[in-house]
Protein backbone atom coordinates (compact mmCIF):
# COMPACT_ATOMS: atom_id res chain seq x y z
CA UNK A 1 0.00 0.00 0.00
CA UNK A 2 1.14 3.57 -0.67
CA UNK A 3 -0.31 6.99 0.05
CA UNK A 4 -0.10 9.03 -3.14
CA UNK A 5 -1.68 12.16 -4.64
CA UNK A 6 -4.61 11.00 -6.75
CA UNK A 7 -6.03 12.71 -9.81
CA UNK A 8 -9.75 11.94 -9.58
CA UNK A 9 -11.83 12.43 -12.73
CA UNK A 10 -15.18 11.22 -14.03
CA UNK A 11 -14.92 7.90 -15.87
CA UNK A 12 -15.68 9.54 -19.24
CA UNK A 13 -12.49 11.61 -18.84
CA UNK A 14 -10.38 8.70 -17.54
CA UNK A 15 -8.31 8.35 -20.71
CA UNK A 16 -7.77 12.12 -21.06
CA UNK A 17 -6.57 12.33 -17.47
CA UNK A 18 -4.23 9.38 -17.89
CA UNK A 19 -2.75 10.82 -21.11
CA UNK A 20 -2.34 14.22 -19.47
CA UNK A 21 -0.57 12.74 -16.41
CA UNK A 22 1.64 10.60 -18.64
CA UNK A 23 2.58 13.55 -20.82
CA UNK A 24 3.42 15.67 -17.76
CA UNK A 25 5.49 12.78 -16.35
CA UNK A 26 3.45 12.54 -13.12
CA UNK A 27 1.60 9.23 -13.64
CA UNK A 28 2.86 6.73 -11.04
CA UNK A 29 2.62 3.46 -12.94
CA UNK A 30 4.00 1.45 -10.03
CA UNK A 31 0.48 1.60 -8.46
CA UNK A 32 -2.94 0.43 -9.70
CA UNK A 33 -5.57 3.12 -10.44
CA UNK A 34 -8.69 2.93 -8.27
CA UNK A 35 -12.19 2.68 -9.69
CA UNK A 36 -14.73 4.71 -7.65
CA UNK A 37 -18.50 4.96 -8.39
CA UNK A 38 -18.50 7.22 -11.47
CA UNK A 39 -14.90 8.23 -11.15
CA UNK A 40 -11.40 6.93 -11.48
CA UNK A 41 -8.37 7.87 -9.39
CA UNK A 42 -4.98 7.90 -11.07
CA UNK A 43 -1.91 7.65 -8.82
CA UNK A 44 0.52 10.56 -9.29
CA UNK A 45 4.14 11.07 -8.37
CA UNK A 46 3.67 14.78 -7.83
CA UNK A 47 1.00 17.47 -7.55
CA UNK A 48 0.95 19.92 -10.45
CA UNK A 49 -1.79 22.34 -11.58
CA UNK A 50 -4.47 20.51 -13.55
CA UNK A 51 -7.45 21.83 -15.55
CA UNK A 52 -9.83 18.94 -14.87
CA UNK A 53 -10.78 16.68 -11.99
CA UNK A 54 -9.54 17.16 -8.42
CA UNK A 55 -6.51 16.07 -6.47
CA UNK A 56 -6.69 14.25 -3.14
CA UNK A 57 -4.43 11.89 -1.22
CA UNK A 58 -5.40 8.25 -1.50
CA UNK A 59 -4.00 4.84 -0.63
CA UNK A 60 -3.06 2.82 -3.73
CA UNK A 61 -2.15 -0.85 -4.20
CA UNK A 62 1.31 -1.37 -5.69
CA UNK A 63 1.47 -3.29 -9.00
CA UNK A 64 3.34 -6.56 -8.72
CA UNK A 65 6.55 -6.09 -10.64
CA UNK A 66 6.65 -8.27 -13.75
CA UNK A 67 10.44 -8.32 -13.82
CA UNK A 68 11.55 -10.99 -11.30
CA UNK A 69 14.75 -9.00 -10.60
CA UNK A 70 12.60 -6.09 -9.42
CA UNK A 71 10.43 -8.44 -7.33
CA UNK A 72 13.54 -9.99 -5.76
CA UNK A 73 15.07 -6.60 -4.95
CA UNK A 74 11.73 -5.44 -3.47
CA UNK A 75 11.62 -8.60 -1.34
CA UNK A 76 15.20 -8.12 -0.14
CA UNK A 77 15.60 -4.31 -0.18
CA UNK A 78 18.80 -4.21 1.86
CA UNK A 79 20.62 -7.12 0.28
CA UNK A 80 22.79 -7.47 -2.78
CA UNK A 81 20.69 -9.74 -4.96
CA UNK A 82 22.27 -11.98 -7.63
CA UNK A 83 22.01 -10.81 -11.25
CA UNK A 84 21.21 -14.33 -12.46
CA UNK A 85 19.78 -17.55 -11.13
CA UNK A 86 18.32 -20.71 -12.65
CA UNK A 87 14.77 -21.96 -12.35
CA UNK A 88 14.71 -25.77 -12.32
CA UNK A 89 11.12 -26.87 -11.99
CA UNK A 90 9.86 -25.25 -8.80
CA UNK A 91 13.36 -24.67 -7.42
CA UNK A 92 15.41 -21.47 -7.71
CA UNK A 93 19.11 -22.23 -7.95
CA UNK A 94 21.20 -19.24 -6.85
CA UNK A 95 24.76 -18.80 -8.08
CA UNK A 96 27.66 -19.90 -5.92
CA UNK A 97 28.56 -17.18 -3.36
CA UNK A 98 25.16 -15.45 -3.68
CA UNK A 99 23.55 -14.19 -0.45
CA UNK A 100 26.05 -15.91 1.84
CA UNK A 101 24.67 -13.96 4.82
CA UNK A 102 21.07 -15.03 4.12
CA UNK A 103 18.91 -16.92 6.61
CA UNK A 104 15.60 -18.77 6.57
CA UNK A 105 13.62 -15.54 6.14
CA UNK A 106 15.78 -14.66 3.13
CA UNK A 107 15.04 -17.99 1.42
CA UNK A 108 11.31 -17.68 2.15
CA UNK A 109 11.30 -14.16 0.69
CA UNK A 110 13.10 -15.43 -2.42
CA UNK A 111 10.59 -18.26 -2.89
CA UNK A 112 7.71 -15.77 -2.65
CA UNK A 113 9.33 -13.26 -5.01
CA UNK A 114 10.25 -15.90 -7.61
CA UNK A 115 7.01 -17.87 -7.24
CA UNK A 116 8.74 -21.14 -6.40
CA UNK A 117 8.75 -23.64 -3.55
CA UNK A 118 12.42 -24.36 -2.97
CA UNK A 119 15.71 -22.49 -3.00
CA UNK A 120 19.24 -23.87 -3.40
CA UNK A 121 22.71 -22.50 -4.03
CA UNK A 122 25.11 -23.69 -6.71
CA UNK A 123 28.50 -25.09 -5.67
CA UNK A 124 31.63 -26.27 -7.40
CA UNK A 125 30.99 -29.45 -9.38
CA UNK A 126 33.08 -32.23 -7.81
CA UNK A 127 36.19 -33.05 -9.78
CA UNK A 128 36.20 -36.55 -11.25
CA UNK A 129 34.33 -38.36 -13.98
CA UNK A 130 30.93 -38.45 -12.22
CA UNK A 131 30.93 -34.65 -11.97
CA UNK A 132 28.73 -34.81 -8.87
CA UNK A 133 26.77 -31.70 -7.93
CA UNK A 134 27.41 -30.24 -4.48
CA UNK A 135 24.43 -27.88 -4.55
CA UNK A 136 23.30 -26.72 -1.08
CA UNK A 137 19.58 -26.84 -0.30
CA UNK A 138 18.51 -23.62 1.46
CA UNK A 139 14.72 -23.96 1.52
CA UNK A 140 13.23 -27.45 1.33
CA UNK A 141 15.12 -30.70 1.89
CA UNK A 142 14.20 -32.69 -1.20
CA UNK A 143 16.42 -31.87 -4.18
CA UNK A 144 14.41 -33.76 -6.82
CA UNK A 145 13.20 -31.51 -9.64
CA UNK A 146 11.08 -32.04 -12.72
CA UNK A 147 12.43 -29.51 -15.19
CA UNK A 148 10.75 -28.85 -18.54
CA UNK A 149 12.93 -27.57 -21.37
CA UNK A 150 12.21 -27.56 -25.11
CA UNK A 151 9.34 -30.00 -24.59
CA UNK A 152 11.57 -32.45 -22.71
CA UNK A 153 11.29 -33.34 -19.02
CA UNK A 154 14.49 -33.82 -17.03
CA UNK A 155 14.21 -35.39 -13.59
CA UNK A 156 17.13 -35.26 -11.20
CA UNK A 157 18.21 -34.47 -7.66
CA UNK A 158 19.99 -31.09 -7.87
CA UNK A 159 21.95 -31.85 -4.71
CA UNK A 160 23.51 -34.93 -6.30
CA UNK A 161 23.54 -34.57 -10.09
CA UNK A 162 24.83 -31.68 -12.19
CA UNK A 163 22.69 -29.90 -14.75
CA UNK A 164 24.50 -27.34 -16.85
CA UNK A 165 22.03 -24.67 -17.89
CA UNK A 166 24.73 -23.37 -20.25
CA UNK A 167 24.34 -26.53 -22.34
CA UNK A 168 20.75 -25.67 -23.25
CA UNK A 169 21.70 -24.89 -26.86
CA UNK A 170 23.29 -28.30 -27.25
CA UNK A 171 20.31 -30.09 -25.69
CA UNK A 172 18.04 -28.18 -28.12
CA UNK A 173 20.36 -28.94 -31.06
CA UNK A 174 20.23 -32.66 -30.30
CA UNK A 175 16.46 -32.48 -30.53
CA UNK A 176 16.66 -30.91 -33.98
CA UNK A 177 19.33 -32.91 -35.76
CA UNK A 178 18.49 -35.10 -38.71
CA UNK A 179 18.66 -38.42 -36.87
CA UNK A 180 15.21 -39.98 -37.35
CA UNK A 181 15.40 -43.76 -37.18
CA UNK A 182 19.01 -43.82 -35.95
CA UNK A 183 20.34 -46.20 -33.33
CA UNK A 184 22.36 -44.16 -30.83
CA UNK A 185 25.00 -45.09 -28.28
CA UNK A 186 25.37 -42.46 -25.56
CA UNK A 187 28.60 -43.27 -23.76
CA UNK A 188 28.11 -40.66 -21.00
CA UNK A 189 24.34 -40.50 -20.72
CA UNK A 190 23.94 -38.84 -17.30
CA UNK A 191 20.24 -38.12 -16.73
CA UNK A 192 19.65 -38.15 -20.49
CA UNK A 193 20.79 -34.60 -21.27
CA UNK A 194 21.13 -35.46 -24.97
CA UNK A 195 19.55 -38.93 -25.22
CA UNK A 196 16.09 -37.78 -24.18
CA UNK A 197 15.82 -34.89 -26.70
CA UNK A 198 17.09 -37.30 -29.38
CA UNK A 199 14.30 -39.74 -28.46
CA UNK A 200 11.55 -37.18 -27.90
CA UNK A 201 12.23 -34.54 -30.56
CA UNK A 202 14.63 -36.00 -33.14
CA UNK A 203 12.84 -39.35 -33.49
CA UNK A 204 15.82 -41.68 -33.10
CA UNK A 205 14.67 -45.28 -32.98
CA UNK A 206 16.70 -46.53 -30.02
CA UNK A 207 19.32 -45.37 -27.50
CA UNK A 208 21.84 -47.50 -25.63
CA UNK A 209 22.69 -45.30 -22.63
CA UNK A 210 25.90 -45.98 -20.70
CA UNK A 211 26.12 -44.43 -17.24
CA UNK A 212 28.00 -45.30 -14.09
CA UNK A 213 26.55 -42.94 -11.49
CA UNK A 214 23.55 -44.57 -9.72
CA UNK A 215 22.06 -41.12 -8.93
CA UNK A 216 22.14 -40.20 -12.62
CA UNK A 217 20.68 -43.57 -13.57
CA UNK A 218 17.78 -42.95 -11.18
CA UNK A 219 17.16 -39.59 -12.89
CA UNK A 220 17.52 -41.09 -16.36
CA UNK A 221 15.05 -43.86 -15.53
CA UNK A 222 12.51 -41.35 -14.21
CA UNK A 223 13.13 -39.00 -17.16
CA UNK A 224 12.57 -41.74 -19.74
CA UNK A 225 9.31 -42.64 -18.02
CA UNK A 226 8.15 -38.98 -17.72
CA UNK A 227 8.79 -38.55 -21.46
CA UNK A 228 7.16 -41.91 -22.27
CA UNK A 229 10.21 -43.26 -24.12
CA UNK A 230 11.32 -46.00 -21.70
CA UNK A 231 10.71 -48.72 -24.29
CA UNK A 232 13.22 -47.12 -26.69
CA UNK A 233 16.15 -46.95 -24.28
CA UNK A 234 18.42 -49.57 -22.80
CA UNK A 235 20.50 -48.44 -19.81
CA UNK A 236 23.90 -50.05 -19.37
CA UNK A 237 24.96 -49.43 -15.78
CA UNK A 238 28.68 -49.21 -15.03
CA UNK A 239 31.93 -48.01 -16.56
CA UNK A 240 31.46 -47.76 -20.33
CA UNK A 241 34.93 -49.28 -20.86
CA UNK A 242 33.35 -52.48 -19.51
CA UNK A 243 29.76 -52.16 -20.77
CA UNK A 244 30.12 -50.57 -24.22
CA UNK A 245 32.19 -53.33 -25.85
CA UNK A 246 28.82 -55.21 -25.87
CA UNK A 247 27.58 -52.51 -28.26
CA UNK A 248 30.15 -53.20 -30.97
CA UNK A 249 28.80 -52.34 -34.45
CA UNK A 250 25.29 -51.26 -33.40
CA UNK A 251 25.29 -47.47 -33.74
CA UNK A 252 24.51 -44.93 -36.45
CA UNK A 253 25.47 -42.21 -33.98
CA UNK A 254 27.62 -42.04 -30.84
CA UNK A 255 27.57 -39.31 -28.18
CA UNK A 256 30.70 -38.46 -26.22
CA UNK A 257 29.34 -35.94 -23.70
CA UNK A 258 32.10 -35.85 -21.12
CA UNK A 259 34.11 -32.83 -20.05
CA UNK A 260 36.83 -31.76 -19.82
CA UNK A 261 37.73 -34.50 -22.26
CA UNK A 262 36.04 -37.50 -23.82
CA UNK A 263 39.26 -38.70 -25.42
CA UNK A 264 39.64 -41.91 -23.46
CA UNK A 265 36.42 -43.18 -25.04
CA UNK A 266 37.24 -42.32 -28.69
CA UNK A 267 38.35 -45.86 -29.66
CA UNK A 268 35.23 -47.23 -27.94
CA UNK A 269 33.03 -44.80 -29.91
CA UNK A 270 34.48 -45.99 -33.22
CA UNK A 271 33.95 -49.62 -32.19
CA UNK A 272 30.27 -48.94 -31.42
CA UNK A 273 29.63 -47.60 -34.95
CA UNK A 274 28.04 -49.85 -37.54
CA UNK A 275 30.38 -51.38 -40.11
CA UNK A 276 29.44 -48.65 -42.60
CA UNK A 277 30.30 -45.99 -40.02
CA UNK A 278 28.23 -43.09 -38.74
CA UNK A 279 28.35 -39.81 -36.84
CA UNK A 280 30.24 -39.13 -33.61
CA UNK A 281 29.51 -36.05 -31.48
CA UNK A 282 32.79 -35.31 -29.69
CA UNK A 283 32.44 -33.04 -26.64
CA UNK A 284 35.66 -31.41 -25.52
CA UNK A 285 37.04 -28.41 -23.72
CA UNK A 286 39.25 -26.55 -26.19
CA UNK A 287 41.39 -23.46 -25.83
CA UNK A 288 40.21 -20.42 -27.77
CA UNK A 289 43.63 -20.34 -29.44
CA UNK A 290 43.29 -23.91 -30.75
CA UNK A 291 39.82 -23.09 -32.08
CA UNK A 292 41.00 -19.91 -33.79
CA UNK A 293 44.06 -21.44 -35.44
CA UNK A 294 42.21 -24.65 -36.37
CA UNK A 295 44.52 -26.99 -34.47
CA UNK A 296 41.72 -28.32 -32.25
CA UNK A 297 39.81 -29.60 -35.28
CA UNK A 298 42.85 -30.82 -37.21
CA UNK A 299 44.38 -32.75 -34.27
CA UNK A 300 41.01 -34.31 -33.37
CA UNK A 301 40.53 -35.42 -36.98
CA UNK A 302 44.07 -36.85 -37.09
CA UNK A 303 43.49 -38.82 -33.88
CA UNK A 304 40.32 -40.38 -35.28
CA UNK A 305 42.11 -41.11 -38.56
CA UNK A 306 44.76 -42.92 -36.50
CA UNK A 307 41.96 -45.25 -35.33
CA UNK A 308 41.72 -46.55 -38.92
CA UNK A 309 38.93 -44.24 -39.97
CA UNK A 310 38.12 -41.88 -42.79
CA UNK A 311 36.88 -38.66 -41.19
CA UNK A 312 34.78 -35.80 -42.48
CA UNK A 313 34.05 -32.73 -40.35
CA UNK A 314 30.33 -32.04 -40.37
CA UNK A 315 30.06 -29.23 -37.85
CA UNK A 316 31.78 -27.53 -34.92
CA UNK A 317 29.33 -26.35 -32.25
CA UNK A 318 30.51 -23.72 -29.81
CA UNK A 319 28.43 -24.52 -26.73
CA UNK A 320 29.64 -22.22 -23.98
CA UNK A 321 32.53 -20.69 -22.15
CA UNK A 322 33.80 -23.25 -19.64
CA UNK A 323 36.44 -21.10 -17.96
CA UNK A 324 38.56 -18.14 -19.10
CA UNK A 325 39.83 -18.88 -22.64
CA UNK A 326 38.38 -22.40 -22.59
CA UNK A 327 35.30 -23.31 -24.64
CA UNK A 328 33.03 -26.33 -24.39
CA UNK A 329 32.67 -27.42 -28.02
CA UNK A 330 31.12 -30.35 -29.85
CA UNK A 331 32.76 -31.55 -33.04
CA UNK A 332 30.41 -33.60 -35.25
CA UNK A 333 32.41 -36.08 -37.30
CA UNK A 334 31.25 -38.43 -40.04
CA UNK A 335 33.40 -41.47 -39.47
CA UNK A 336 33.86 -44.32 -41.93
CA UNK A 337 35.76 -47.36 -40.72
CA UNK A 338 38.52 -48.54 -43.10
C1 LIG B 1 27.50 -35.11 -16.33
S2 LIG B 1 27.51 -35.79 -17.88
C3 LIG B 1 28.25 -34.53 -18.79
C4 LIG B 1 27.25 -33.53 -19.22
C5 LIG B 1 27.81 -32.37 -19.97
N6 LIG B 1 28.43 -32.77 -21.21
C7 LIG B 1 28.83 -31.59 -19.13
O8 LIG B 1 29.84 -32.09 -18.69
O9 LIG B 1 28.59 -30.40 -18.89
C10 LIG B 1 28.78 -37.00 -17.89
C11 LIG B 1 28.26 -38.30 -17.33
O12 LIG B 1 29.15 -39.32 -17.70
C13 LIG B 1 29.22 -40.27 -16.65
N14 LIG B 1 30.48 -40.99 -16.82
C15 LIG B 1 31.74 -40.51 -16.71
N16 LIG B 1 32.64 -41.47 -16.99
C17 LIG B 1 31.94 -42.60 -17.30
C18 LIG B 1 32.29 -43.90 -17.66
N19 LIG B 1 33.57 -44.26 -17.80
N20 LIG B 1 31.30 -44.79 -17.90
C21 LIG B 1 30.00 -44.45 -17.78
N22 LIG B 1 29.61 -43.21 -17.41
C23 LIG B 1 30.55 -42.29 -17.18
C24 LIG B 1 29.14 -39.44 -15.39
O25 LIG B 1 28.67 -40.19 -14.30
C26 LIG B 1 28.15 -38.34 -15.82
O27 LIG B 1 26.84 -38.68 -15.48
pLDDT of residue 142: 96
51 compared with 186, residue with greater pLDDT? 186
- Asked if residue 210 has its Cβ within 6 Å of ligand 1, the reply is yes
Distance CA 113, CA 79 (A): 14
Q: In this model, does residue 49 exceed pLDDT 90?
A: no
Going by pLDDT thresholds of 50, 70 and 90, the confidence category of residue 15 is very high
199 and 125 share one domain: no
Residue nearest to atom 3 of ligand 1 (CA): 258
Distance CA 191, CA 214 (A): 10
The domain boundary, picked from 142, 173, 207, lies at: 142
Q: In this model, does residue 1 exceed pLDDT 70?
A: no
Q: In this model, does residue 65 exceed pLDDT 80?
A: no
200 and 295 share one domain: yes
Q: For ligand 1, what atom is nearest to the CA of residue 190?
A: 27
171 and 302 share one domain: yes
169 and 42 share one domain: no
Any domain includes 91? yes
Q: Find the 301 Cα to ligand 1 centroid distance in Å.
A: 23
Q: In this model, does residue 21 exceed pLDDT 70?
A: yes
Any domain includes 148? no
Does the pTM exceed 0.85?
Answer: no
Distance CA 188, CA 212 (A): 8
Going by pLDDT thresholds of 50, 70 and 90, the confidence category of residue 126 is confident
333 and 186 share one domain: yes
Any domain includes 157? no
Q: Find the 131 Cα to ligand 1 centroid distance in Å.
A: 7
Any domain includes 242? yes
92 and 198 share one domain: no
22 and 98 share one domain: no
113 and 222 share one domain: no
Q: Find the 82 Cα to ligand 1 centroid distance in Å.
A: 29
Average pLDDT over residues 154-165: 94
25 and 48 share one domain: yes
pLDDT of residue 62: 83
- Please provide residue 86's backbone torsions phi and psi, each rounded to the nearest 5 degrees: -115, 145
- Contact at 8 Å (CB) between 229 and 196? yes
- Asked if residue 188 has its Cβ within 6 Å of ligand 1, the reply is yes
Residue nearest to atom 18 of ligand 1 (CA): 239
pLDDT of residue 161: 94
CATH number at residue 303: 3.40.50.150
pLDDT of residue 40: 96
Average pLDDT over residues 177-192: 98
| β-strand partners of 336 | 310
105 and 220 share one domain: no
Q: Find the 255 Cα to ligand 1 centroid distance in Å.
A: 11
233 compared with 61, residue with greater pLDDT? 233
271 and 210 share one domain: yes
Q: Find the 330 Cα to ligand 1 centroid distance in Å.
A: 15
Residue among 125, 126, 128, 131 to mutate when testing ligand 1 (max atoms within 8 A of CB): 131
Any domain includes 318? yes
Structural domain boundaries, residue 84: 68-142
Q: How far is CA 295 from CA 91, 231, 290, in A?
A: 41, 41, 5
- Total of domains in the chain: 3
To the nearest whole number, what is the mean pLDDT of the chain? 94
Share of the chain above pLDDT 90, in %: 86
Any domain includes 333? yes
CATH number at residue 33: 3.30.70.2580
Going by pLDDT thresholds of 50, 70 and 90, the confidence category of residue 294 is very high
Q: Find the 235 Cα to ligand 1 centroid distance in Å.
A: 14
85 and 194 share one domain: no
Amino acid sequence: MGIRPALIVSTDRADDARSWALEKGVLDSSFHPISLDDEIAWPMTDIIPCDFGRIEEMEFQPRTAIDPHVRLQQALPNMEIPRRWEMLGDLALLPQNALLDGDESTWTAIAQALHCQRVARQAEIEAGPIRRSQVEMLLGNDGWVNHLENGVRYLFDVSKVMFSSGNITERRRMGKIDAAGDVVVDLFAGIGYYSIPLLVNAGVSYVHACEMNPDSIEGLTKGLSANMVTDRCHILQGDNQETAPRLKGVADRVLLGLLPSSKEAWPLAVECLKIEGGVIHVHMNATEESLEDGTFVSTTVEEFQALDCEVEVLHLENVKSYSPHIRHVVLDLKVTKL
